[in-house]
């Protein structure tokens, strides 16, 4: 079968792409605006470069066409903390997919424990084994209803027992495989 992306609608194209590029990491992108902590799950992001250390995330719009809180907060504050999901926090991550008004925090609503590791960044989800502390780098302009945002990784938290002296990482992140989830362990 040969699929023609030029004739597919956006939803079908997204389903085919996201079901093919697997596994994809799943993480919360935590942002903050005027004391309200937003924690939104994303699986549509990927590393872009190691120099500069960047990743790209595509952020959609709300049903009314306005920017999602994550995008609005990143563009306003230029900061985000990306916290990787694991089996212990997967149910909390799923809850955060429920839309909330901008003035309501998923952290408060779903009683998610956070830890402010760095004062100048949004807090990280305490149960995450690893988190990236990122700054806004650039936005790409593409037609459609998603905004590709490039974030530069400035610092990373990783649990002490998850990285060895040779910098080999062993985390139990949850990834997306089409419509289902799978545990990914880096050896």
Instruction: Give the neighbor-by-neighbor strand order of the sheet with 130-139.
Output: 36-42, 27-33, 79-84, 130-139, 147-158, 53-59, 45-50
Query: Which pLDDT score, from 0 to 100, does residue 18 have?
Result: 66
- Residue 165, C-beta contacts closer than 8 angstroms, at least 6 positions apart: none
CATH of domain 24-185: 2.30.110.10
**How far is Cα 154 from Cα 156, in angstroms, rounded to an integer?**
7
Query: Which pLDDT score, from 0 to 100, does residue 11 have?
Result: 80
SS (H, E, C) 71-110: HHHHHHHCEEEEEECCHHHHHHHHHCCCCCCCCCCHHHHC
User: What pTM does this model have?
Assistant: 0.87
Q: What residue ranges do the domains of the chain occupy?
A: 24-185
From first to last of its 187 residues, what are the pLDDT tens digits of the chain?
A: 777 878 878 888 877 776 666 677 889 999 999 999 999 999 878 888 888 999 999 998 988 888 999 999 999 999 999 999 999 999 999 999 999 999 999 999 999 999 999 999 999 999 999 999 999 999 999 888 899 999 999 999 999 998 888 888 888 888 877 666 555 544 4
Containing 30, the helix (H) or strand (E) segment is strand 27-33
- On whether the CB atoms of residues 20 and 28 are closer than 8 A, the answer is no
């Amino acid at each position: 079968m040969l699929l023609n992306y030029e004739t597919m609608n956006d939803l079908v194209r997204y389903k085919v792409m996201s079901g093919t590029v697997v596994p994809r990491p799943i993480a919360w992108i935590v942002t903050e605006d005027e004391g309200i902590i937003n924690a939104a799950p994303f699986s549509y992001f990927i590393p872009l470069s190691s120099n500069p250390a960047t990743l790209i995330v595509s952020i959609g719009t709300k049903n009314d066409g306005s920017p999602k809180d994550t995008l609005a907060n990143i563009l306003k504050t230029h900061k985000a903390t990306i916290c990787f999901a694991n089996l212990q926090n997967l149910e909390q991550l799923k809850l955060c997919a429920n839309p909330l008004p901008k003035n309501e925090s998923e952290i408060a609503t779903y009683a998610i424990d956070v830890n402010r590791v760095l004062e100048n960044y949004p807090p990280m989800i305490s149960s995450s084994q690893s988190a990236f502390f990122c700054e806004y780098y650039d936005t790409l302009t593409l037609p459609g209803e998603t905004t590709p945002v490039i974030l530069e990784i400035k610092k990373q938290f990783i649990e002490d027992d998850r990285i060895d002296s040779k910098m080999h990482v062993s985390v139990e992140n949850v990834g997306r495989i089409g419509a289902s989830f799978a545990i990914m362990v880096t050896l």
